């Protein structure tokens, strides 16, 4: 694997260090609660992360269309873009998951994507010619993956605070 690609994969993976912290002490009744209009619940943030990560890795690094991805709950298209998620109540199957199941589902999806990147043989500056023009290179796409995880971890802390929880780490 290209050394710069390896460094970026490691940085993206490192963003998941926050998962244990962000989930520590979440009240079960807050897991699927939206804190207000046009705001995602904790479980929806996790499902969105899983779907988006699959999109970045499966589609935008390996060129696989969504119909070729593993058919897990958290990879469903509904979780791809938050505004569409908010057009209806929380997805019923997601709402039935426990805190441990949501966390496990998120980490399982991340591990699957991380494992897939181990076979990535493209250099960091490889340019793609596809519909994600704002992130044309391997490096751009891996940076977005890392930033996206960090962003949503922060959003989960914010949701917890809006729901009246105190978080020891943030």
Count up the domains in the chain and report the number: 1
Q: Is residue 121 in a domain?
A: yes
Does residue 169 sit within a domain?
no
Residue 9 lies in a domain: yes
Average pLDDT over residues 126-147: 93
Predicted confidence (pLDDT) at residue 170 exceeds the cutoff of 90: no
Per-residue pLDDT at 83: 79
Residue 132 pLDDT class (50, 70, 90 cuts) = confident
In-domain check, residue 127: yes
Q: Give, in order, the Cα–Cα distances in Å from 87 to each of 30, 37, 79, 83, 157.
A: 20, 10, 11, 7, 23
Is the residue at 145 inside a domain?
yes
- Given a cut of 70, whether residue 146 has pLDDT beyond it is yes
Residue 37 belongs to some domain of the structure = yes
Looking up residue 154, the CATH number of its domain turns out to be 1.20.120.450
State the pTM of this model.
0.94
Domain, as residue range, for 89: 3-162
Which pair of tokens denotes residue 169? 């780490």
Is position 168 within any domain? no
Give dist(CA 44, CA 70) in Å, integer. 19
Is residue 70 a part of any domain in this protein?
yes
């Amino acid at each position: 694997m290209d050394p710069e690609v390896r460094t970026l994969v490691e940085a993206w993976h490192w963003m998941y260090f926050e998962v244990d912290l962000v989930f520590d002490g979440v009240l079960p009744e807050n897991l699927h609660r939206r804190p207000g209009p046009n705001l995602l619940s904790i479980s929806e943030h996790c499902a969105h992360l899983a779907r988006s990560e699959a999109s970045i890795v499966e589609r935008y690094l390996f060129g696989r269309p969504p119909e070729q991805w593993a058919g897990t709950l958290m990879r469903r298209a509904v979780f791809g873009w938050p505004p569409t998620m908010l057009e209806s109540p929380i997805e019923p199957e997601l709402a039935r998951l426990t805190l441990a199941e949501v966390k496990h589902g998120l980490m399982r999806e991340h591990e699957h994507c991380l494992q897939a990147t181990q076979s990535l043989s493209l250099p960091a500056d490889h340019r793609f010619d596809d519909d994600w023009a704002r992130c044309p290179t391997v490096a751009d796409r891996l940076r977005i993956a890392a930033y996206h995880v960090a962003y949503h971890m922060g959003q989960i802390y914010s949701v917890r605070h809006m729901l009246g929880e105190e978080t020891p780490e943030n």
